Chains A and B, each alone.
Chain A
Amino acid sequence: GAGVSQSPRYKVAKRGQDVALRCDPISGHVSLFWYQQALGQGPEFLTYFQNEAQLDKSGLPSDRFFAERPEGSVSTLKIQRTQQEDSAVYLCASSLAQGRNEKLFFGSGTQLSVL
């Protein structure tokens, strides 16, 4: 596809439910990032992949959050036992190279609402 694709676009979950958010990066992009954006705030870093390797997961807020990119392309962010504070927009971004100073291309995000 032409851009970063995320699904679902919207997700409503009951507290305690597990959710899985999918990201299809731009084809050939090596780097993949997940960000969390709370209402009225800027995106906050969650985790970073270079191909299939998860090189930085320092932003994951708890062990309920798990991300994977097993074949170095599609990535899934999984949140177990969702809590109300998990409600946010989850943004995926990719970039072509693995070096520094590469601009990121963002998807439209998944808006998660936990009731």
Chain B
Amino acid sequence: DQQVKQNSPSLSVQEGRISILNCDYTNSMFDYFLWYKKYPAEGPTFLISISSIKDKNEDGRFTVFLNKSAKHLSLHIVPSQPGDSAVYFCAASLYKLSFGAGTTVTVRA
């Protein structure tokens, strides 16, 4: 039973433009949401998080938006850079993380 879904398996974006990654969840008990970034042959690394009491959190080029009523969150990367090419996982927390299947982002020069 997939409680966290990332419906876009891949995203291609031009360098300098905005990347928007989407994530939906089903369990209304989740109270903390995170995005992880993963390069090949490495473990996921933490990118940014948001508590359920907020609707936006920003860290440099990365902004996460949370819409609790829609059970939806998104990650915006502005501007996209070649080093952003990776797999991005959305995760939701009770105390253990439930992950989406990931979105592969390719930033074109």
Whole-angstrom distance between the alpha carbons of A41 and B98 in the complex? Answer: 12
Whole-angstrom distance between the alpha carbons of A44 and B42 in the complex? Answer: 16
Contact check, B99 vs A103: say whether CB atoms are below 8 A apart. no
B31, B45, B49, B95: most-surrounded residue (chain A CB, <10 A): B95
Whole-angstrom distance between the alpha carbons of A45 and B94 in the complex? Answer: 12
Interface residues on B, range: 20 to 34
Find residues 75-100 in chain A having any chain B CB closer than 8 Å to their own CB: 91, 93, 99-100
Whole-angstrom distance between the alpha carbons of A35 and B43 in the complex? Answer: 11
Residues of A within 8 A of B97 (CB): 33, 43, 45, 104
Find residues 18-77 in chain B having any chain A CB closer than 8 Å to their own CB: 31-32, 34, 36, 41-46, 49, 51
A112 at interface by CB-CB < 8 Å: no
A109 at interface by CB-CB < 8 Å: yes
Contact check, B101 vs A107: say whether CB atoms are below 8 A apart. no
Contact of A100 among B6, B41, B93 (CB under 8 A): B93
Whole-angstrom distance between the alpha carbons of A45 and B4 in the complex? Answer: 13
Chain B 82-102, CB-CB to A under 8 Å as 1, else 0, gives 000000010101111111111
How many residues of chain A are within 8 Å of chain B by beta carbon? 23
A56 at interface by CB-CB < 8 Å: yes
Whole-angstrom distance between the alpha carbons of A26 and B46 in the complex? Answer: 15
Contact check, B43 vs A91: say whether CB atoms are below 8 A apart. yes
Contact of B93 among A40, A42, A101, A106 (CB under 8 A): A101
Contact of B43 among A56, A99, A107 (CB under 8 A): A107
Contact check, A101 vs B32: say whether CB atoms are below 8 A apart. yes
Contact check, B95 vs A43: say whether CB atoms are below 8 A apart. no
6 CB-based A-B contacts, threshold 8 Å: A35-B99, A42-B6, A42-B89, A42-B102, A48-B95, A100-B95
Contact check, B46 vs A103: say whether CB atoms are below 8 A apart. yes
Chain A residue nearest to B99 (CB atoms) is: A42
Residues of B within 8 A of A108 (CB): 41-43
Chain A residue nearest to B96 (CB atoms) is: A45
